[in-house]
Amino acid sequence: MGIFNFSQDLGIDLGTANTLVFIKGKGVVVREPTVVARNIETGSIEAVGSSARNMIGRTPGNISVIRPMKDGVIADYDTTAVMMKYYIKKALRSRSLFAKKPNVMICVPSGITMVEERAVLDATKQAGAKDAFPISEPFAAAIGAGLPVWEPTGSMIVDIGGGTTEVAVVSLGGIVTSRSIRTAGDNMDEAIIHYIRKKYSLMIGERSAESVKMDIGSATEPTQDEEIDIRGRDLLTGLPKTITISAKEISQSLQDTVQSIVEAVKSTLEKTPPELAADIMDRGIVLSGGGALLKNMDTVISDETKMPVFITDEPLESVAIGTGKSLDYIQHFKAHSNVANRPNVE
């Protein structure tokens, strides 16, 4: 069990799209977009999180809105450290002035390199952590989804985040086989933007694409063809324009991304030892992360693998919950870095 002061333990899911902070005994206390607005002229931070996200595509020339994480890893080190400091401070705002620095369990993609992992741990310490321990994202998702990760039984987790999709088979407190691909929710948004630009010569923003994906996006061709209005800039005239697009078209635009995720699941199953594969056949595959909420994602994976597929109760929070719960086993992570099993990243 954890050896540290009860109130000091923090679990952080530092995601490409959102950052969540879990405090032991309180649950998820911070849930904000991983976005920072910086003044280019002065270098000062203008806004962090939701308020910065609201500025995307709406800022004057002197303010730049940055997403400091790309594909699950740090793209802008200094901005990430400042942002994490803000989130840690926000999570611990009610603590005593004399409290010690918190120990932090921080989530990293399973395909991360040693250099990238060190950058995450250093940024966490710079943000005010006494000590930082890495936990691999699919392992955290499996704990958060309530899978029996410490038992000698195989569990398969597919965590579809913003920047990466993590597929792993977990047994006896470790990852047996895994795959990390840098194809996930952000790629779905980009696919929608690209499709609309190519077919309708209309430029739309990230937030509009994400809204469309959430409203009418589907991993399979929908039976009922809904329609939605999208506003953007006409590339031919340069003027604002509204078009009506169907759910069928959005589904078509997402096919390549969905297929990449399905292939990652299938290739991980192919590398799974037979005994564990039999366990997964019995227990099914568990989906977590924002991408798990794409309509019919579970159906597509089930059809392609011929296995039952379930979506965890809190797909957006399962990684953060698992990261927080893993604080109880902090000695395990001190002894063996759970990120030792590093598959090739595509």
Q: Which helix (H) or strand (E) holds 300?
A: helix 297-305
Q: Which percentage of the chain shows pLDDT scores above 70? A: 92
List the one residue out of 106, 74, 72 whose CA is nearest residue 88: 106
pLDDT band for position 78 (cuts 50, 70, 90): confident
Asked whether residue 336 is domain-assigned, the answer is: no
Asked whether residue 17 is domain-assigned, the answer is: yes
For strand 240-246 and strand 227-234, is the pairing parallel, antiparallel, or unpaired? antiparallel
| Residues 170, 282 share a domain | yes
Q: Which residue range is the domain that position 274 belongs to?
A: 141-183+259-318
Asked whether residue 274 is domain-assigned, the answer is: yes
Q: How many Å apart are CA 311 and CA 219, to the nearest integer?
A: 14
As a whole number, mean pLDDT of residues 192-216 equals 95
State residue 94's pLDDT score.
61
Residues 6 or more apart whose CB falls under 8 angstroms from that of 20 comprise 12, 13, 28, 30, 31, 317, 319, 320
Burial class of residue 40 in the structure, from the number of CB atoms within 10 Å of its CB (0-12 exposed, 13-18 middle, 19+ buried): exposed
Lay out the sheet containing 174-181: strands in order across: 174-181, 165-171, 155-160, 285-288, 309-311
| Residues 111, 11 share a domain | yes
Asked whether residue 80 is domain-assigned, the answer is: yes
Q: How many Å apart are CA 208 and CA 213, to the nearest integer?
A: 9
pLDDT higher than 70, residue 253: yes
Out of 50-54, 70-74, 90-94, which region has the weakest mean confidence (pLDDT)?
Answer: 90-94
Asked whether residue 325 is domain-assigned, the answer is: no
| Residues 270, 161 share a domain | yes
| Residues 27, 106 share a domain | yes
Count: domains in the chain: 3
| Residues 117, 16 share a domain | yes
Q: Which of 202, 232, 254 is the last residue of a domain?
A: 254
Asked whether residue 247 is domain-assigned, the answer is: yes
| Residues 10, 151 share a domain | no
Burial class of residue 269 in the structure, from the number of CB atoms within 10 Å of its CB (0-12 exposed, 13-18 middle, 19+ buried): buried
| Residues 165, 195 share a domain | no
What is the per-residue burial (b if ≥16 Cβ within 10 Å, else e) of 204-225? bbbebbbbbbeebbbbbebeee
Sequence letter at residue 14: L
Residues 322-346 have pLDDT tens digits of 999 998 888 777 765 544 444 444 4
Asked whether residue 334 is domain-assigned, the answer is: no
Apex 72 CA angle, 217 and 158, nearest 5: 55
Q: Which of 213, 233, 254 is the last residue of a domain?
A: 254
pLDDT band for position 35 (cuts 50, 70, 90): very high
The tokens for 271 are 């590398």
Q: Which CATH number belongs to the domain containing residue 266 in this structure?
A: 3.30.420.40
Residues 274-311 have pLDDT tens digits of 999 999 999 999 999 999 999 999 999 999 999 999 99
pLDDT higher than 80, residue 3: no
| Residues 95, 84 share a domain | yes
| Residues 19, 93 share a domain | yes
| Residues 171, 273 share a domain | yes
In this prediction the pTM is: 0.88
| Residues 24, 93 share a domain | yes
Phi, psi torsion values for 303, nearest 5 degrees = -65, -40
| Residues 123, 173 share a domain | no
Asked whether residue 331 is domain-assigned, the answer is: no
Q: Which CATH number belongs to the domain containing residue 249 in this structure?
A: 3.90.640.10
Q: How many residues does the chain have?
A: 346
Q: How many Å apart are CA 145 and CA 167, to the nearest integer?
A: 14
List the one residue out of 198, 194, 162 whose CA is nearest residue 72: 162
Out of 60-69, 138-147, 268-277, 309-318, which region has the weakest mean confidence (pLDDT)?
Answer: 60-69
Phi, psi torsion values for 121, nearest 5 degrees = -65, -40
